Amino acid sequence: MWLAVLVVVITSVAAFDVTVTNLWNGGFQAKFTITPNHALHGWRAHLLCDLALDSIEIWRANVVEKRDGGKEFVLVNTPYDPDVSNSGNLVIEFAGHMSGGSSPNCIVTVDGVNSTVPHTTQHAPAPTHDTGPSNGVVAHMKYDYAKALGLSILFYDAQRSGRLPANNPIPWRGDSAVNDGDNGHDLSGGWYDAGDHVKFNLPMAMSTHILLWGFMKFQDAYKHAGQTSMMCDMIKWPLDYFLKCWIPESETYYVQVGDGGPDHGFWGRPENMNMWRPAFKVTAGNGGSDVAGDTASAFAAGYIVFNTICGDASYANRLLQAGKSIYEFAKNHQKIYSQSVPQAAGFYGSSGFRDELSLAAAWLYKATNDGRYLNEARQFHDGGVPWSLSWDDKRIAGTLLLYEITQDGSYKNDVMGFVRSYKPGGGITYTPCGLAYRDQWGANRYAANAAFIAVMAAADGIETNDFVTWTMSQINYILGDNKYHISYEIGFGSNYPVHPHHRGSSCPTSTNWCNAGDPGPNPNLLKGALVGGPDNQDNYDDRRGDYVKNEVACDYNAAFQGALAGLLHFAVNNALPAAPGSRC
């Protein structure tokens, strides 16, 4: 039930409603939308509440002053997101902290925006999990891709290792593994890989550059969803970690922290770990061209994103210099990393490194326009139609990026061949309800990865309507067009998995004791996580112990998020075809 309270009339500035979306003892989450009557280039606002707040954590804005004992907070735009167009909207989310379990009544006023309309603060007792379109736009979407995209960002925030920032949006996560390192070298930070607590740089780097690519390509979708600032904040976390891992002076790159065997023997919160966490590295004498190449791609793509979207040129330049040096390391000391670090082989054993070197060179060309990198990207590239896009095989990503750079028809043909191989009649098995079923391990992941390539190709003008429609068939299956009419993305809609194979989510924050076999739902909602998915007959069991169907991982969400952004991009531009019908 919605409660209308705190009616206030403002005559000199606009007042905007604040909606409380979640409430817990000692805090709450809320959001408001700025809709000015003229374009703003930079803005200043005031959050006014009837109860004092101890502090707030806010995204897409900065707090510059706290007044009246915490009843007013003065906010200004972030340097990288200053503009609000005429009749546009800027959605801002924040978390408030205060004693007790009551939430305040708040409004937001914006200096220099006139209004004489009364406004009310609205409260919802809990998120509604609706699947209708967000922001009142693109109503022809069958599912709300903007909401699903925002949830995916939160999944990565839940995977953070290290000392968490003040704006941490995951209330059940705290500092963890802050002493990760090797002989005094700080290796704290980064993302935990999956439902465990090992940090594997190969899938982490792959996830990072795929996320950056989708962000770069479909930045209008992120802006429409109100997620630009959140994405800049989220994607910086692994990049900061990679900068710690790479030591160019000694040609040393740390590629893993934690040992999979002992780690998998511990079922508990990362905040409660006390095991030894060894660090593993590759060097000039024991190389790792695949993982180093993937990290070079992340650095180069990060350079472009932070230079053009996130508004931090100094940080972008650090990333570019790191990308150049680690690429030379990868190229000059060619070896498969899991041969140098056998502790990785049983979890993320690599099959080769030419695909990572080609992709890294292509990204560095895109970042620098230096023809040497393009020549090397071509030399390392192996054509043809690969089995999948995955953490181990990035050939199709390199093919598509080379096509974008060169417009060479041979690359285009391979991209078309890859997408067609996943479409009906292309040779891949389909479940009865319509999921392209490449493998039982992360079935949703492989379908989403192919969908990402399809929608990226569509944005490049390759069989646009056909590829976008097929992308929708896969993403819509994941979001609800399936046998159980559930969302395989946790937190989306009203019906989704509640027993993901994920230690931190499954353990209460109030105690150090945790039982993996507890039949109840995970006490902490792992928002945005994409679970592995069904078998080849669409059967799925929401059971924590089934790590094939119900584990989550960083690489599961990366291309899935990019595919969501791609579909939202077409919707925002009124170019989204009609959704294909559900088979179930």
DSSP 422-473: HSTTSS-EE-TT--EE--STTHHHHHHHHHHHHHHHHHTTSSHHHHHHHHHH
What is the architecture of the domain spanning 145-572? Alpha/alpha barrel (1.50)
Answer yes or no: are the C-beta atoms of 403 and 412 closer than 8 Å.
Answer: yes
Average pLDDT over residues 463-487: 97
Q: How far apart are CA 77 and CA 412, in angstroms?
A: 41
Residue 124: what pLDDT? Answer: 31
Average pLDDT over residues 230-234: 97
Average pLDDT over residues 50-79: 84
Q: How far apart are CA 504 and CA 551, in angstroms?
A: 12
Residue 372: what pLDDT? Answer: 98
Does residue 95 or residue 208 have the better pLDDT?
Answer: 208
Residue 227: what pLDDT? Answer: 97
Average pLDDT over residues 206-221: 97
Residue 13: what pLDDT? Answer: 47
Q: How confident is the model at residue 258 (pLDDT cuts 50, 70, 90)?
A: very high
Please determine, for residue 137, whether its predicted confidence score (pLDDT) is greater than 50. no
Which among 353, 351, 359 has a CA at the least distance from the CA of 378?
A: 359
Q: Could you say which of 233, 376, 404, 551 is catalytic?
A: 551
Supply φ then ψ for residue 65, to 5 degrees: -160, 145
Q: Does domain 3-123 have CATH number 2.40.70.10?
A: no
Report the SS3 class of residue 483.
coil
Instruction: Give yes or no: 404 in active site.
Output: no
Q: How far apart are CA 106 and CA 339, in angstroms?
A: 58
Residue 127: what pLDDT? Answer: 30
Q: How confident is the model at residue 17 (pLDDT cuts 50, 70, 90)?
A: confident
Q: How far apart are CA 366 and CA 58, in angstroms?
A: 33
State pLDDT tens for residues 429-441.
999 999 999 999 9
Strands (DSSP E) found in 25-118: 27-34, 40-41, 44-49, 55-58, 62-67, 72-76, 83-84, 90-97, 106-110
Please determine, for residue 332, whether its predicted confidence score (pLDDT) is greater than 70. yes
Label residues 552-580 b or e (16+ Cβ within 10 Å = b): bbbbbbbbbbbbbbbbbbbbbeeebeebb
Same fold, 3-123 and 145-572: no
Residue 116: what pLDDT? Answer: 31
Supply φ then ψ for residue 402, to 5 degrees: -65, -35
Which among 511, 496, 510 has a CA at the least distance from the CA of 550?
A: 496
Q: How many CA atoms lie within 13 A of 579 on its CB side?
A: 22
State pLDDT tens for residues 508-564.
998 888 888 888 999 999 999 999 999 999 999 999 999 899 999 999 999 999 999
Answer yes or no: are the C-beta atoms of 54 and 130 closer than 8 Å.
Answer: no
Instruction: Give yes or no: 542 in active site.
Output: yes
Q: How far apart are CA 336 and CA 333, in angstroms?
A: 10
Q: How far apart are CA 504 and CA 159, in angstroms?
A: 9
* CA-angle at 266, arms to 265 and 272, nearest 5°: 160
Please determine, for residue 81, whether its predicted confidence score (pLDDT) is greater than 80. no
Which among 90, 146, 128 has a CA at the least distance from the CA of 2?
A: 128
Please determine, for residue 325, whether its predicted confidence score (pLDDT) is greater than 50. yes
Q: How many CA atoms lie within 13 A of 162 on its CB side?
A: 20
* Segment holding 243, helix H or strand E: helix 228-245
Residue 80: what pLDDT? Answer: 65
Residue 14: what pLDDT? Answer: 63
Answer yes or no: are the C-beta atoms of 225 and 149 closer than 8 Å.
Answer: yes
Please determine, for residue 565, whether its predicted confidence score (pLDDT) is greater than 60. yes
Residue 60: what pLDDT? Answer: 78
Residue 9: what pLDDT? Answer: 33
Answer yes or no: are the C-beta atoms of 108 and 6 closer than 8 Å.
Answer: no
Mean pLDDT across the chain: 90
Q: Could you say which of 271, 393, 463, 542 is catalytic?
A: 542
Does residue 577 or residue 3 have the better pLDDT?
Answer: 577
State pLDDT tens for residues 282-304.
999 999 999 999 999 999 999 99
Residue 112: what pLDDT? Answer: 73
Answer yes or no: are the C-beta atoms of 255 and 291 closer than 8 Å.
Answer: yes
Residue 120: what pLDDT? Answer: 33
Residue 40 amino acid letter: L
Average pLDDT over residues 487-499: 96
Q: How confident is the model at residue 90 (pLDDT cuts 50, 70, 90)?
A: confident
How distant, in Å, are the alpha carbons of 227, 299, 509 from that of 304? 18, 9, 39
Residue 290 amino acid letter: D
Residue 512: what pLDDT? Answer: 80
Six-digit token pair at 452?
Answer: 């990402």
Give me the residue spans of the domains in the chain.
Answer: 3-123, 145-572
Please determine, for residue 462, whether its predicted confidence score (pLDDT) is greater than 90. yes
Supply φ then ψ for residue 425, to 5 degrees: 90, -5
Residue 28: what pLDDT? Answer: 79
* CA-angle at 191, arms to 64 and 275, nearest 5°: 115
Which among 46, 31, 13, 33 has a CA at the least distance from the CA of 88?
A: 33
State pLDDT tens for residues 334-373.
999 999 999 999 999 999 999 999 999 999 999 999 999 9
Which among 249, 260, 247 has a CA at the least distance from the CA of 292?
A: 247
Give burial (CB, 10 Å; 0-12/13-18/19+) of 144.
buried
Q: How far apart are CA 245 and CA 239, in angstroms?
A: 10
pLDDT above 70 coverage of the chain, percent: 91
Q: How confident is the model at residue 479 (pLDDT cuts 50, 70, 90)?
A: very high
Report the SS3 class of residue 412.
helix
Does residue 515 or residue 390 have the better pLDDT?
Answer: 390
Pairing state of beta strands 119-123 and 14-24? Answer: parallel
Residue with tokens 């709450």: 28
Which among 427, 397, 503 has a CA at the least distance from the CA of 405?
A: 397
